[in-house]
């Protein structure tokens, strides 16, 4: 291969390696839970919907699929009390009627037991049991539970882990070179583990020195008190800078190296100076 072409290919490869962002995997926290409206369910009772009761966590979405040959509804409320309007129709009616193979979805945002029934065949009854879960509001039932949030900056992901009996971390955002803002679903105390690739040095929480619980090569765990706003701002000696800054430095060094190499090779092959 011609030396110049080889150099050009080399430079392109180096640039591609530097500039191609690592595709970030965004974990899903909320689940979709399937409930079947079973075949022949018009003649059934508590076995018309399957599984029944269906157990989900706050934030999960229940998807009912009509696997029968005739229309049914999954309407919140009871046959005697009527539709309460939460899902599967307006209060006092059952507006949503999934026809065969159709689906109906509803996302549960609060804990509790939610009865439902078929507006067309009131013998069909079911219950959705919603637990607080890891993404739930109002605490984790007194037990410390782990939650995670991922901050993204310039194609890199930084995972923050929180252990708390009071709340869950729901968001993490980096202000490049300045601070990291964590969002929680409620107030309380939490032990938060932050990767050193994101923040390192003397960590400060809301302007005061952070209470460090644990520290290793990879991460720092600090204890934070989350206020009513649910927002905690962390500053540190080093906060991951904007990619542009790193890229410019790496790029400059690479180009100097490549040009130097090309000039050396060019001379060696008698191609003259680039
Ligand atoms: Cu029905």
pTM recorded for the entire structure: 0.43
Domain that holds residue 125: 32-131
pLDDT in tens, 162-174: 999 889 999 999 9
Instruction: State how far the Cα of 220 lies from the Cα of 201, in Å rounded to an integer.
Output: 9
- Cα–ligand 1 centroid distance for 110 (angstroms): 26
254 within a domain of the structure (yes/no): no
pLDDT in tens, 202-240: 899 988 899 999 999 999 999 999 988 999 999 988 888
- Cα–ligand 1 centroid distance for 120 (angstroms): 5
- Cα–ligand 1 centroid distance for 34 (angstroms): 17
CATH number at residue 182: 2.60.40
- Cα–ligand 1 centroid distance for 163 (angstroms): 44
User: Do 98 and 164 share a structural domain?
Assistant: no
- Tens-digit pLDDT string for the chain (274 aa): 555 655 555 555 555 444 444 333 333 457 899 999 999 999 999 999 999 999 999 999 999 999 999 999 999 999 999 999 999 988 888 766 677 789 999 999 999 999 999 999 999 999 999 998 654 444 555 678 899 999 998 888 999 999 998 899 999 999 988 999 999 998 889 999 999 999 998 899 988 899 999 999 999 999 999 988 999 999 988 888 766 566 666 777 777 777 776 676 655 555 555 4
Return the HEC string of 69-99.
CCCCCCEEEECCCEECCCCCCCCCCCCCCCC
User: Do 66 and 107 share a structural domain?
Assistant: yes
For residue 236, CA distances in Å to 1, 52, 172, 177 come to 50, 50, 15, 9
Spacing of C-alpha 98 from chain mean position: 30
The overall average pLDDT reported for the chain is 82
Q: Round to the nearest angstrom and report the end-to-end CA distance of the chain.
A: 17
- Cα–ligand 1 centroid distance for 70 (angstroms): 8
Comparing CA positions, the residue from 179, 141, 146 lying closest to residue 164 is 146
User: Do 184 and 97 share a structural domain?
Assistant: no
User: Do 160 and 145 share a structural domain?
Assistant: yes
- Cα–ligand 1 centroid distance for 112 (angstroms): 24
């Amino acid at each position: 291969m011609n030396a110049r072409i080889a150099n050009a290919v080399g430079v392109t490869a180096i640039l591609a390696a530097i500039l191609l962002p690592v595709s970030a995997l965004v974990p899903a926290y909320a689940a979709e839970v399937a409930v079947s409206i079973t075949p022949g369910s018009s003649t059934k009772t508590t076995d018309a919907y399957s599984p029944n009761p269906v157990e989900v966590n706050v934030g999960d979405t229940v998807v009912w699929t009509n696997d029968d040959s005739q229309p049914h509804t999954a309407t919140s409320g009871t046959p005697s009390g009527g539709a309460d309007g939460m899902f599967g129709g307006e209060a006092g009616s059952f507006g949503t009627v999934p026809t065969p193979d159709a689906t109906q979805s509803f996302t549960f945002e609060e804990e509790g037991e939610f009865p439902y029934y078929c507006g067309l065949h009131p013998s069909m009854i079911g219950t959705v049991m919603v637990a607080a879960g890891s993404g739930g509001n109002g605490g984790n039932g007194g037990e410390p539970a782990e939650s995670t949030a991922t901050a993204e900056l310039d194609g890199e992901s930084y995972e923050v882990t929180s252990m708390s009996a009071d709340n869950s971390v729901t968001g993490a955002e980096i202000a490049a070179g300045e601070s990291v803002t964590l969002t929680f679903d409620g107030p309380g105390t939490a032990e938060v583990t932050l990767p050193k690739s994101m923040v390192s040095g003397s960590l400060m929480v809301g302007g005061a020195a952070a209470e460090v619980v644990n520290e290793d090569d990879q991460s720092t765990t600090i204890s934070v008190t989350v206020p009513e706003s649910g927002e905690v701002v962390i500053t540190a000696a080093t906060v991951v800078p904007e990619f542009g800054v790193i890229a410019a430095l790496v790029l400059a060094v690479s180009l100097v190296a490549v040009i130097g190499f090309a000039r050396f090779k060019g001379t060696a092959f008698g191609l003259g100076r680039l």
